């Protein structure tokens, strides 16, 4: 108690000398603390990023395999192709249909991996709806005819099983749960009426669909209405299926686009690429496509980007022998493009932090040497008049603690002011894409679109929803957080302890007789 008072009094009475130390420490501590703030901010930001990016993987047809198939198809002449089509047996037809799909056996097996948190599977295909006309495709046909092209050759990227496009073709996206379809999770599309199809709809193969708002109103369709879909590759009984409309969605992006470009030409204004997409339970889409047990891709969220290697290894095991046909794609590059600048800034800040802390230690050590040697007589007096070494040391400790505390409090204040600029300064000056590449697929590419653009991951939503690439600089938000305060206290204790080393040594060794007779 008295020690505190004496120490604090000593701090006040030696104010000028102590303030010089405070100022020096303040400068170094501000540097340390803002470096620390940058580090903490970068760490927590990377942690946040890890929750949404870098923990995604999907299994789909490998790009190499797709290229090969495409090349083989391209080199065939039209005559060869039609000859082939005529001579196909049912079994061959079925094999063709699933050639560019992934067996559920594989995607299900991989879903059992310990790191996988959520699992969805998706089948995207084109489905013929006899009652509705796809105005987009119709337009496309017109454009192609005007350009003297044949519509038949435009099958899209990998549309082996969907070659026969008609103006009644629509894009069907099936997964296990409507609400978790990526177009809805990304917010690109929004349910405005009715409900999502559920997991139960999927397991029971309930013939339900979600339709786009404009398409619905163009065709006077509402919730509860049914539309007739053609089942691919089946004739006679069971060649059609009645689909009940349970949900109507709108496309957020296309709405805002059409608003902003309302003055453009009428054909452009009508163009609503998103409108041709239906969402239905995977099992239903599989029936329509006549590809039970096959999907376009399996989509997975695993726990963290840190387990990317483990996930890849697990996939290798599951996919033994088929690795050339299927591939596991992750969003690691997305993660890297966001996290790398942050990690760089973090590493730089750690270096700066250690340097600045070293400087702090040096300053306090030197300051103590000077202060102590200036106050030797005082220490001698204290010991001569009956003060124990402990009392002298504690009094000094309190004084040093005061010095360090003032410095660190000021430094914390200053850090709150300059932390952000420090962060900006340390962040590498590169911009990165935070969303996927722009997808420039034509409407005709839509049916095969999911596969056509191999770089695009399902989790990013379908091609049309991200109409332009968003180049966004990675930002580091250096916010003041509680941990920084805790670290500040830790630094305070550390610096004070370092500062105490010399006084402790000096006080214990000091013989009062040596100094008391000095003039």
Partner 1 sequence: MSEQVIINATDVNKTFQVKAGEVNAINSVSFTANRGEVTTIVGPSGSGKTTLLYVVGSLEKPESGSIEVAGRDILDSGTNLVRYRRENIGFVFQFFNLVPTLTALENVMLPMDLAGIRPDEQRRRATELLDRMGVKDRLLKAKPTKMSGGENQRVAIARALANDPDIILADEPTGNLDTATGSTVIDILSSLARENDKCVLMVTHDESILAVSDRAFHMVDGQLSEIIL
Determine the distance from the C-alpha atom of residue 5 to the mean position of all C-alpha atoms in its chain, rounded to a whole number. 54
With the C-alpha atoms ordered 20, 24, 30, 32, is the resulting torsion angle positive or negative? negative
Q: From CA 218, how far away is CA 238, in angstroms rounded? A: 28
Q: Using the rule CB under 8 A, is 511 a contact of partner 1?
A: yes
Query: Based on CB atoms, which residue is closest to partner 1, 188 or 400?
Result: 400
Q: Of residues 101-160, which lie at the interface with partner 1 (CB under 8 A)?
A: none
- What b/e readout covers 83-102, taking b as 16+ CB neighbours within 10 angstroms? eeeeeeeeeeebebbbebbb
E strands present in 167-295: 169-175, 189-194, 208-212, 226-230, 240-251, 277-281, 294-295
Q: Is 461 helix (H, G, I), strand (E, B) or coil?
A: coil
Q: How far apart are the first and last CA of the chain?
A: 33
Q: From CA 465, how far away is CA 123, in angstroms rounded? A: 18
Query: Based on CB atoms, which residue is closest to partner 1, 9 or 316?
Result: 9
Residues 6+ apart with CB under 8 A from 272: 135, 136, 212, 214, 215, 251, 254, 258
CB of 2 to partner 1, least distance (A): 5
Q: Using the rule CB under 8 A, is 508 a contact of partner 1?
A: no
Among positions 391, 394, 432, 434, the unique one binding partner 1 when judged by CB under 8 A: 391
Residue holding tokens 């996927």?
436
CB of 369 to partner 1, least distance (A): 19
Neighbours of 139 (CB within 10 A): 15
- Tell me, residue by residue from 5 to 24, as one string, x for binding to partner 1 by CB under 8 A and - for no binding: -x--xx--xx----------
CB of 25 to partner 1, least distance (A): 21
Tokens of 110: 């991989």
CB of 368 to partner 1, least distance (A): 17
Query: Based on CB atoms, which residue is closest to partner 1, 280 or 379?
Result: 379
Q: Using the rule CB under 8 A, is 85 a contact of partner 1?
A: no
CB of 391 to partner 1, least distance (A): 6
Query: Based on CB atoms, which residue is closest to partner 1, 413 or 512?
Result: 512
CB of 395 to partner 1, least distance (A): 10
Q: Of residues 351-390, which lie at the interface with partner 1 (CB under 8 A)?
A: 377-378, 380-388
Q: Of residues 223-262, which lie at the interface with partner 1 (CB under 8 A)?
A: none
* Count of chain residues binding partner 1 (CB under 8 A): 25
Per CB under 8 A, residues contacting partner 1 are 2, 6, 9-10, 13-14, 377-378, 380-388, 391, 511-513, 516-519
């Amino acid at each position: 108690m008295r020690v505190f008072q004496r120490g604090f009094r000593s701090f006040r009475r030696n104010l000028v000398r102590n303030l010089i130390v405070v100022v020096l420490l303040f400068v170094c501590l501000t540097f340390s603390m803002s470096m620390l703030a940058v580090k903490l901010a970068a760490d927590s930001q990377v942690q946040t990023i890890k929750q949404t990016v870098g923990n995604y993987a999907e299994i789909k047809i490998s790009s190499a395999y797709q290229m090969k198939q495409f090349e083989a198809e391209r080199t065939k002449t039209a005559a060869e192709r039609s000859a082939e089509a005529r001579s196909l047996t049912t079994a061959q037809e079925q094999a063709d249909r699933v050639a560019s799909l992934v067996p559920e056996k594989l995607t299900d097996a991989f879903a059992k991996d310990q790191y996988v948190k959520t699992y969805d599977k998706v089948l995207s295909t084109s489905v013929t709806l006899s009652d509705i006309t796809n105005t987009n495709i119709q337009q496309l046909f017109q454009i192609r005819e005007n350009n003297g092209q044949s519509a038949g050759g435009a099958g899209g990227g990998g549309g082996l099983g969907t070659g026969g496009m008609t103006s009644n073709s629509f894009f069907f996206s099936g997964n296990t749960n409507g609400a978790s379809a990526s177009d809805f999770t990304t917010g690109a599309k929004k349910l405005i009426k009715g409900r999502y199809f559920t997991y139960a709809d999927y397991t029971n193969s309930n013939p339900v669909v979600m339709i786009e708002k404009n398409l619905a109103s163009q065709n006077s369709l509402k919730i509860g209405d049914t539309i007739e879909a053609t089942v691919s590759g089946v004739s006679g009984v069971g060649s059609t299926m009645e689909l009940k409309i349970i949900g109507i969605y709108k496309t957020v992006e296309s709405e805002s686009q059409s608003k902003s470009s309302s003055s453009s030409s009428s054909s452009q204004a009508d163009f609503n690429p998103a409108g041709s997409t239906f969402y239905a339970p995977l099992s239903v889409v599989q029936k329509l496509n006549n590809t039970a047990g096959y999907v376009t891709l399996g989509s997975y969220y695993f726990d963290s980007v840190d387990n990317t290697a483990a996930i890849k290894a697990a996939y290798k095991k599951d996919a033994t022998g088929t690795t050339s046909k299927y591939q596991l794609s992750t969003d690691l590059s997305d993660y890297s493009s966001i996290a790398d600048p942050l990690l760089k800034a973090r590493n730089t800040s750690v270096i700066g932090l250690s340097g600045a802390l070293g400087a702090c230690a040096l300053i306090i050590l030197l300051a103590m040497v000077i202060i102590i040697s200036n106050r030797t007589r005082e220490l001698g007096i204290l010991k001569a008049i009956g003060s124990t070494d402990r009392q002298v040391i504690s009094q000094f400790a309190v004084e040093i603690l005061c010095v360090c505390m003032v410095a660190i409090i000021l430094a914390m204040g200053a850090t709150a002011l300059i932390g952000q600029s420090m962060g900006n300064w340390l962040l590498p000056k590169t911009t990165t894409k935070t969303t996927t590449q722009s997808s420039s697929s034509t409407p005709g590419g839509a049916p095969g679109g999911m596969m056509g653009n191999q770089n695009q991951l399902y989790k990013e939503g379908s091609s049309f929803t991200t109409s332009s690439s968003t180049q966004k600089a990675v930002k580091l938000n250096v916010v003041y957080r509680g941990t920084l305060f805790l670290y500040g206290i830790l630094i305070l204790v550390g610096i004070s302890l370092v500062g105490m080393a010399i006084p402790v040594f000096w006080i214990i060794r000091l013989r009062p007789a040596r100094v008391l007779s000095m003039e």
